[in-house]
Amino acid sequence: MECKGVCVLLGVLLLVSCSLQQTAPKKKLVKKDTTKDAIEVLQKQVNDIVMELNLLKEHQALQTVCLKGAKIHGKCFLVDPLRKRYHTASEDCNSMGGVLGTPMSSDENDQLREYISQSIGPSEQVWLGVNDMTTEGKWVDQTGGSITYKNWDTTNSRSPQPDGGKSQNCAILSVASRGKWFDENCREEKPSVCQYNIEFLSQWFSAGSALGPVSDLKVTAS
Ligand SMILES: [Ca+2]
């Protein structure tokens, strides 16, 4: 009887020992997975913070543009008084994160005219982001899409604008002509107006950041 009891006890001990050996590596694997998950979560949070920081910087830069220029209908317009060819003006504007200005309504056009007049004078003409370089007569904006609003000068009924054919493929806004548009040779050198869209940023900020304050950041690694 005693021997049987000892044998049973040994058997139980053996089973426990085996089960411990089996569970030990599994535990390690679980811990490794948890650490890996935590690192991934942390990495994502860091990426989100970097993205948020970049948006904040962009927003700040935009505020500066708006302070220097004019905020009209969810856009910031900034006049570049330096005389440049259309392409140079467009590239310089793009390099600052904007596109050449394209008014979308008569109200926007009027406000833009007023701003340009106050910034660089009442007799200036500036490049707009409107051209028919690709297809003669098909005037497009900086995205290549057809323009829905246009403000060509048609006071001269014999030769209403645009009247330059293939030799004039870029549009200017004339402050002196009450903000009316004229087609012009793209190689002429003129001041320009750059526009920055702020709508998506305002929406983003009014909706609130996807992240809470940095102090709320919880690291779940243990
Ligand atoms: Ca043309």
**Residue that is written with structure tokens 């701003």 in the block:** 115
What is the helix (H) or strand (E) element at residue 171, kind and residue range?
strand 170-174
Q: Which long-range contacts (CB under 8 A, 24 or more apart) does 155-158 make?
A: 155/180
pLDDT in tens, 111-157: 999 999 999 999 999 999 999 999 999 999 999 999 999 999 999 99
Domains of the chain: 69-206 (3.10.100.10)
Q: Report CA(114)–ligand 1 centroid distance (Å).
A: 27
Query: Which residue in 98, 111, 110, 80 sits closest to 189, CA to CA?
Result: 80
Q: Report CA(170)–ligand 1 centroid distance (Å).
A: 7
Q: Report CA(58)–ligand 1 centroid distance (Å).
A: 36
Facing residues of 180 across strands? 174
Determine the Cα–Cα distance for residues 192 and 106; give it in Å rounded to an integer: 19
pLDDT in tens, 8-60: 555 555 565 555 555 555 555 667 788 999 999 999 999 999 999 988 877 77
Mean residue pLDDT of the chain comes to 83
Determine the Cα–Cα distance for residues 80 and 99; give it in Å rounded to an integer: 12
